[in-house]
Structure 1
C-alpha cells in the first residue's frame, strides 16, 4: 500500500511539465504585441535590405492563412523589398522577396 503513491509520481511530473510548457507558450503569445513584431521585422528588414532601406518602408496587415497572425510588408519606392509572414508567437514563419518589377 505504501508503494502505491510511487506510481503517481511520474504522472504528476508529466502533468507539471505539460502545465509549465503551456504557461510558457501561452504567456509568450499573450505578451507579444503587434507593435513589437513590426518593430522587430523592420529591424530585420533594415539589416537585410542594406543601404536605402527605411524603417517607414514597413507596414503590416492581418494574415489570411490559418496559423499566421500578420504579414509585414517592407517595400521601398521602387517596389523592391520583402513580405514577412508572422506566426502566432511573433516569429517569422516565411519570407517572400518582392522584386520591384511592374
Structure 2
C-alpha cells in the first residue's frame, strides 16, 4: 500500500507537467496575432484599420501582417508560435 502513494504522486506530477508544456507550446489564434501586430503598428503612429494578414510563404513563418498607408508599408513576419520574427518597413508614417 505504501508504494502506490509515491507512484500516484509521480503520475500526477507527470500529468500536470505535460499539461503545462502543452499549454505553452500552442500558438495563439490568428485574430489575436493580427491584433497584436496591428497594435505594434498603431504604437508607431499608424491606424489599426490599415492592417491585413496573409499566410507566409517561407518555412518557419505562419503569417505576414501588412499595414499600408499612402505608400508606407510595414510588414510583420510572425513565426509558428505567434512571435514576431522579422519586421520590414518601407516609407515613413509621417506621410499618412
Q: TM-score, normalised by structure 1?
A: 0.66
Helix, strand or coil: the match of 1:90? Answer: coil
Partner of 2:38: 42
RMSD: 2.5
* CA deviation after TM superposition for structure 1 residue 22, in Å: 4.3
Map residues 2-41 of structure 1 onto 2, 5 A cutoff.
16=14, 19=18, 22-26=21-25, 28-29=26-27, 32-41=28-37
Q: How many residues align structurally?
A: 83
Partner of 1:83: 75
Gaps of 5+ in 1: 1-11
Partner of 1:92: 84
After superposition, give the CA deviation of every residue in 1:53-86 in whole Å (9 maximum; x if it has no partner): 211100000000000000000111x111310000
Gaps of 5+ in 2: 1-9
Q: TM-score, normalised by structure 2?
A: 0.70
Question: In structure 2, what is the Cα distance between the partners aligned to 1:37 and 1:63?
Answer: 13
